[in-house]
Amino acid sequence: MSKYKVVFRPLAELDLLHLFDFIARESGASVAAEYIDRIEAACLALERFPMRGTKRDDIAPGLRILGFERRVAIAFRVGRNEVVILRILYGGRDYARILAPTTT
């Protein structure tokens, strides 16, 4: 089984930073760091099993959503050799609205 390269888009990285800040304010930096580490590990596990999660072509072509610990939605796309992490959305945010392509 070949490995895929996992790539985090800038918005996904920003999502992680905001989530860290939020959790650190509420529960402390060590708790926040451990939680972010677990999310990142879940993302990196897609290098071996990229077709996990739920296909959501109804929102955007090629979009997949992977739930994490019932509080986080990891949005990603699978390419030929890579998994692109698009967003990491916390706390029941309306990911369908956030991830839908805009028409302007």
CATH assignment at residue 66:
3.30.2310.20
Residue 92 lies in a domain: yes
Judged on CB neighbours under 10 Å (0-12, 13-18, 19+), 90 is middle
Residue 45 lies in a domain: yes
pLDDT tens digits, residue range 8-48? 999 999 999 999 999 999 999 999 999 999 999 999 999 99
pLDDT of residue 36: 98
pLDDT band at residue 103 under the 50/70/90 scheme: very low
Answer yes or no: are the C-beta atoms of 46 and 83 closer than 8 Å: yes
Residue 75 lies in a domain: yes
Task: Provide the number of structural domains found in the chain.
Answer: 1
List the 82-90 sheet strands across, edge first: 5-8, 82-90, 72-78, 63-68, 54-55
pLDDT tens digits, residue range 47-99? 999 999 999 999 999 999 999 998 999 999 999 999 999 999 987 666 667 77
Tokens in use for 3?
């490995």
Residues 6+ apart with CB under 8 A from 18: none
Residue 104 lies in a domain: no
Q: Which domain holds residue 40?
A: 5-99
pLDDT of residue 77: 97
Residue 53 lies in a domain: yes
Residue 22 lies in a domain: yes
